[in-house]
Amino acid sequence: MNLEQIWKNTQEELKIILAPAVFQTFVYPAQLTSLQNKTATIACPSNYLVDMNTKRYYHLFKSALDNQSKQDNKLEFINQQPILTPAQSKPAPLFETNTIKTSPHSLSSQKADLHPRYTFDTLIVGNSNNFAFAAAQGIVKNPGLSYNPFFLWGGVGLGKTHLMQAIGHELLKDNPNLKVRYFPAETFGNELISSLKSKDMTKFKSKYRNLDCILVDDIQFIAGKEYIQEEFFHTFNSLHLSGKQIILTSDRKPSEIDRLEDRLVSRFTGGLTVDIQLPDYEMRTAIIKQKASEINLNLTPQAIDHLAKNIQSNIRDIEGKLREISILSQSNQISQVDTAFLLQFLSMPQTASDSKNDISPRHIVSTCAKYYKIKTGDLCGKSRKQDLVHARHVTAFLLVDFLNLPLERAGEILGGRDHTSIMHARDKIHTLFSTNPQFQKELNQIKSEF
């Protein structure tokens, strides 16, 4: 079997298991350029696709390619325009109806390495990101002036990259000639090292310092890398002094990034720093409806409610669970997914949604006290010992978020605390859950005891 046929079969296999939108965006533009010594080189037309396919879809590409090539392969994704097949290289007819013209905005977005779907039109806005969204609107109206730099932080899968790239799309929509560029911080570091090796730093500096707007993802990856931090510091200063827009994302706020130089922390906090929280129930419901519609997954209202109450992590987990449901429903020839199907085929507990009404506030308090090995009296008492405060915050979070109790009622249960204390506890646990995988396990273990 030749290279072209292997890749065609690989794509067909991926087309079956992936949602149409995912396949069209990440798999269809890719091209297998070589397969030698059990190493497959796959060309992608942008750095963004290289990054996403490597981080998110590597195992799917590998499984399909291994299956078709009958061997265990190592995959390498590279940024390169795919080699066109003879069929793809045929000249276009002189006259063609319904021709789709590529707009200047679309061409600029591709050049900027922006994902075509990461726009404001596809962004779900709720309590967890409405402040960040409002700030983004201000940036679009006055780039380089309103909030510069704009620093977004929060756990994985909460939509930081989507919001950041949506700003880029909107800027280019208003002015396609703007020089906008999205890139992960890791890419900046890798290109810097390559430029040092090739002794071509002038070209590197020109590439990054002559832009009108930079969108830098996962800036925490430059921490501890002295020379990369040095070069990024000068790049930042050059752009900022010229009034160019700088947007950064991280999994934590600047002051909490270990081994990040103080001068960079100072620069990053010199504009607007906004954290994005976990989506609440209403926002999760809206996300589920939108994502299900995109992959043609028909869910009953009860099934949507069940999913929204059970998947309390991030947007990426919601997308992954919906893809799993879609595949299962297709393989079982189910036209409409209901709650019974979810309980039968998925490892999702019934407690969080269907049995919630059977759980009393007292049960939550006693469960938390038992888990943290403290007395319920101490949990609801006035002691400010660190272990007691943490347990109290978790209990407050569960009373408000899990049982939907009013803040005032949760405060009464926890020893007569005011609603602002409960609100602080809830928000703190939200942030901890979104940024700390170990705590996610801890909280899920407590919930499993209900």
Residue 88 belongs to some domain of the structure: no
Average pLDDT over residues 235-244: 95
Residues 188, 63 share a domain: no
Evaluated on CA atoms 426, 429, 431, 433, the torsion sign reads: negative
Average pLDDT over residues 266-279: 91
Residues 66, 42 share a domain: yes
User: DSSP assignment of 285-337, as one string?
Assistant: HHHHHHHHHHTT--B-HHHHHHHHHH--S-HHHHHHHHHHHHHHHHHTT-SSB
| pLDDT score for 351 | 40
375 pLDDT above the threshold of 50: yes
Q: Regarding predicted confidence, which is higher, 19 or 56?
A: 56
Residue 96 belongs to some domain of the structure: no
In this structure, are residues 112 and 170 in contact, taking their beta carbons and an 8 Å threshold? no
In angstroms, rounded to a whole number, what is the distance separating the alpha carbons of residues 98 and 119? 25
Average pLDDT over residues 386-390: 91
Q: Regarding predicted confidence, which is higher, 108 or 173?
A: 173
Residues 316, 252 share a domain: no
Residues 121, 204 share a domain: yes
Evaluated on CA atoms 112, 117, 121, 127, the torsion sign reads: negative
End of a domain among 79, 101, 117?
A: 79
Residue 246 belongs to some domain of the structure: yes
The runs of H, that is alpha helices, within 78-200 are: 104-111, 130-141, 160-174, 185-198
Evaluated on CA atoms 109, 113, 119, 125, the torsion sign reads: negative
Terminal alpha carbon distance of the chain: 55
**Residue-number span of the structural domain to which 433 is assigned:** 359-447
Residues 174, 297 share a domain: no
| pLDDT score for 407 | 86
| pLDDT score for 320 | 85
In angstroms, rounded to a whole number, what is the distance separating the alpha carbons of residues 152 and 163? 9
Residue 393 belongs to some domain of the structure: yes
143 pLDDT above the threshold of 80: yes
Residue 151 belongs to some domain of the structure: yes
Average pLDDT over residues 167-186: 93
61 pLDDT above the threshold of 50: yes
103 pLDDT above the threshold of 80: no
172 pLDDT above the threshold of 90: yes
Q: What tokens does 366 get?
A: 């006693």
Average pLDDT over residues 94-110: 51
Q: Cα 261–267–269 angle (5° rounding)? A: 105
Residue 293 belongs to some domain of the structure: yes
Lowest mean pLDDT among 111-125, 166-180, 345-359: 345-359
| pLDDT score for 242 | 94
Residue 91 belongs to some domain of the structure: no
Lowest mean pLDDT among 98-112, 121-135, 161-175, 346-360: 346-360
In this structure, are residues 223 and 259 in contact, taking their beta carbons and an 8 Å threshold? yes
Lowest mean pLDDT among 13-17, 170-174, 406-410: 13-17
| pLDDT score for 357 | 52
In this structure, are residues 77 and 50 in contact, taking their beta carbons and an 8 Å threshold? yes
Q: What is the CATH number of the domain that holds 377?
A: 1.10.1750.10
Q: What is the CA radius of gyration of the chain?
A: 25
Sheet containing strand 31-36, edge to edge, reads: 31-36, 39-44, 74-79
347 pLDDT above the threshold of 70: no
95 pLDDT above the threshold of 70: no
Q: How far is CA 242 from the centre of its chain?
A: 30
| pLDDT score for 354 | 45
Residues 168, 304 share a domain: no
* Pairing relationship of beta strands 180-184 and 213-217 according to DSSP bridges: parallel
Residues 300, 196 share a domain: no
Q: What is the CATH number of the domain that holds 210?
A: 3.40.50.300
Binned at pLDDT 50, 70 and 90, residue 196 comes out as very high
Binned at pLDDT 50, 70 and 90, residue 104 comes out as low
Average pLDDT over residues 210-232: 95
The count of domains in the chain is 4
Q: How far is CA 354 from the centre of its chain?
A: 29
Lowest mean pLDDT among 40-49, 162-171, 191-200, 411-420: 40-49
Contacts of residue 32, Cβ cutoff 8 Å, sequence gap at least 6: 3, 6, 7, 10, 40, 41, 42, 43, 65
Q: What is the CATH number of the domain that holds 29?
A: 3.30.300.180
Number of CB atoms found within 10 A of residue 346's CB: 16
89 pLDDT above the threshold of 70: no
Average pLDDT over residues 98-126: 74
Binned at pLDDT 50, 70 and 90, residue 358 comes out as low
- Percent pLDDT > 90 in the chain is 44
The maximal CA–CA distance of the chain, rounded, in angstroms, is 83
Evaluated on CA atoms 166, 167, 171, 177, the torsion sign reads: negative
Residues 160, 204 share a domain: yes
Residues 176, 263 share a domain: yes
| pLDDT score for 27 | 87
Binned at pLDDT 50, 70 and 90, residue 316 comes out as confident
Q: What is the DSSP letter of 251?
A: S
End of a domain among 252, 275, 298?
A: 275
Average pLDDT over residues 43-69: 85
Residues 41, 13 share a domain: yes
Residue 349 belongs to some domain of the structure: no
Helix, strand, coil percentages, rounded to 5, for the chain: 55, 10, 35
112 pLDDT above the threshold of 80: yes
Lowest mean pLDDT among 89-93, 186-190, 219-223: 89-93
Q: What tokens does 439 get?
A: 């705590």
Residues 190, 113 share a domain: yes
Average pLDDT over residues 394-420: 88
In angstroms, rounded to a whole number, what is the distance separating the alpha carbons of residues 309 and 325? 16
In this structure, are residues 180 and 112 in contact, taking their beta carbons and an 8 Å threshold? yes
161 pLDDT above the threshold of 70: yes
Average pLDDT over residues 70-88: 71
Average pLDDT, the chain: 85
Residues 204, 293 share a domain: no
